[in-house]
Amino acid sequence: MVRADPLIGSVIAERYRLDRRIASTDISVVYEAADLRAEAPGEAPGEAAERRCAVKILHAAREDVAARCIREAEAMARVANAHVVEALDHGILPSRNVFIAMEFLDGESLSATLEREGPLPWRRVVHLGRQIAEAAAATHAEGIIHRDIKPGNCMRIDRDGDPDFVKLLDFGISRNLDARFPTLTAQGAVLGTPAYMAPELTATGEPSIASDIYSFGATLYQLLTGSLPFTGETLVDYYYHHCYTPLTPPSQRAPEALPEGLEALVLRAMSKAPEGRFPSMIAAIDALDALLPTGERPPPVQVPERVAPARSSGSLEAETITSATPRPAEEVDSSDVDTNVRSPGGLDETPVHETELGDGTPLPFAATRTAATPGMSMPARSSVRGELLLPRSGLLIRGAVLAALVGLFTV
């Protein structure tokens, strides 16, 4: 039986009225909401008004997930940049569910734009890419690695007359570079999305500015060609391709001729060795600006530059948010879900599971599992599909066994 979301119309934290469920992910549900204490833009002080916002509510049972959610809010609050989604508030409900209130973005993700329009003209990609790079540079300046840069986490909205204004979303798996901020990720865990992950993460699992730059390059590649740099059916496939398969130049897959400088930019950003990539996002922005005539170049980005440290070997990322035990999904009313209007968080619709807010109101929730695997020196492909022979370790990894150990993943 299909049921409507029971939280619709309720008020949480004595402030946010949940009006519409936008999407759900494996650890959260996101709603379009009204901030009953705020004044809408353009309203005089004291006038009755409701500011629209997005509210993400986390499942209460996972302490690590709750800590990650709070970290997401704090990370967003630290980054003051027009191209980073704004965090308005966060807290813990009586039920122990953590919530984040964020600015509401009325638009669509770049992945939705790609699905509707196909490959984008290169000048448009330069404009979009520069904004993504600026947002990432701002996060790096604050000592934060995003870890999941991809079209699905880049929101395109209409602002200040620009229909291609970009906001970078989803800091839920970000990582602080500064020692004073604790890391919440288990050693060796790899978080991100397999199609955009940097090769070195298969060996070290350590995210860096360089791994964000790789994901940025993969994002540009997809925007230009309409295709992922590499595809695979298993996590091992993605690891293998990112580590060892030569990248097909985007000019061979794009529907229009690309400037040589743009192709060189993408290939450099996606170098398999971290030291072969741009030293910083600011350097990538400079390379993007150089593609345009002098009179068309935007003003320099006003973000402090944080340079990637020299490293000896290269990177890879994978989409994983580990859950304790997979639970059966329960249906909700899909009419409440708008796949074109997305809130901050890079969220894809998934089945939902019910838990409860403190007052007994059920909360939709779903859990999925994924994980990572190692490998560096050139492996031999077995004739058995899904097998990799890794000479460095001498291990034969069978896809079926690996899947049983680490769970399924979704790109």
Residues marked active site are found at: 148
Separation CA 405–CA 217 (nearest Å)? 31
Cross-strand bridge partners of residue 108: 156
Separation CA 146–CA 148 (nearest Å)? 6
Question: What string of H, E and C letters represents the secondary structure of 59-118?
Answer: CCCCHHHHHHHHHHHHHHHHCCCCCECCEEEEEECCCCCEEEEEECCCEEEHHHHHHHHC
The dihedral sign for the CA sequence 205, 211, 212, 216: negative
Quickly count: other Cβ atoms within 10 Å of residue 89's Cβ: 18
Report the b/e string of 8-24 with b at 16+ CB within 10 A. eebebbebbbbbbbbbb
Closest CA to 271 of 207, 236, 314: 314
**Residues in the chain, total:** 411
